[in-house]
Amino acid sequence: MSGNTRPIEASIRTDFRDEMDYGSYLGLDALLSAQHPVSDPPHHDELLFIIQHQTTELWLKLVVHELRGVRRFLDSDDLPRALKGLARVKHIQRTITEQWSVLATLTPSEYAEFRGSLGQSSGFQSHQYRAVEFLLGNKHAGMLQVFRDKPEIHAQLAQLLQEPTVYDAFLRLLARRGHPVPAEILDRDVTQAWTEHPELIAVFKTIYEDPHAHWELYEACEDLVDIEDAFQLWRFRHLRTVQRTIGFKTGTGGSSGVGFLKRALDLTFFPELISVRTEIDGPLGA
């Protein structure tokens, strides 16, 4: 046998007629046959475009799963498990942000050769992206109209619209631990997008000015800021990739394109956690 060949160990299974194998466990037959270029003839670079977006959707599915778990752990006062979930979300965000560098290898000329085949399809129509935004606090009932022809998806987003966000769950945990979160915030209409509540600044100021006395809560605050920053970085990389590829053309789904994406950079999930930084005087006893 060649010195550059690794022998198959006798204990390795090779007969899977009656056993589940790697491909069947992962559903690879369905997964790897889910790429259907619509350009005619199929453009070489359309496969990149499809896989980029499909893999992002898979990661978004996991983000939704993890954020639901984070909310559940916060509701049950299991802050360490919630922090574990937030840490995993941050790693996913780093991965999907880096993926834009792969799509950025698609030049304007190459994309123009098959962009017309995409019709009105657009990332704006990603229901999983909307689910992530709803879970983090950027509620917008008008977005449900995009999915009115998909009853199951519409119902899922409508339910998330009615449910508390991760931030709501965190604030309720703070209140249960004795921090003076105003009752009107705890009882707010959770179907509405979060807007800054200056009354919360004092609550977070107490935590930030004595982190050793409130270490777990301090860590949770910083994890939420990490999530916010990572989301903004993802949005920015999206904007720059779109601008690099199509300039200032209108988006395939009808949006203004780069201009629409720029306005998204003004959206925030946890504004009080940013504003409190202006008020911090330093740790007690410093």
111 is in an annotated binding site: yes
What does the alpha-carbon distance between residue 113 and residue 131 come to, in Å, rounded to a whole number? 32
Instruction: Tell me: is residue 240 an annotated ligand-binding position.
Output: no
* CA–CA dist 207, 210 (Å, integer): 6
238 annotated binding-site participant = yes
Q: Any binding-site annotation on 236? A: no
Flag whether 120 is marked binding: no
The reply, when asked if residue 252 is annotated as ligand binding, is yes
Q: How many CB atoms lie within 10 A of CB 137?
A: 22
Instruction: Confirm or deny that 53 is annotated as ligand binding.
Output: yes
Place of tokens 């037959």: 29
Q: How far is it, in rounded angstroms, from Cα 197 to Cα 179?
A: 15
The reply to whether 127 sits in an annotated binding site is no
Asked whether the beta carbons of 244 and 104 are under 8 A apart, the reply is yes
Query: Residue 118 class from Cβ within 10 Å (0-12 exposed, 13-18 middle, 19+ buried)?
Result: middle
Binding site residue list: 49-53, 111, 115, 238, 252
Binding site residue list for heme: 238
Binding site residue list for substrate: 49-53, 111, 115, 252
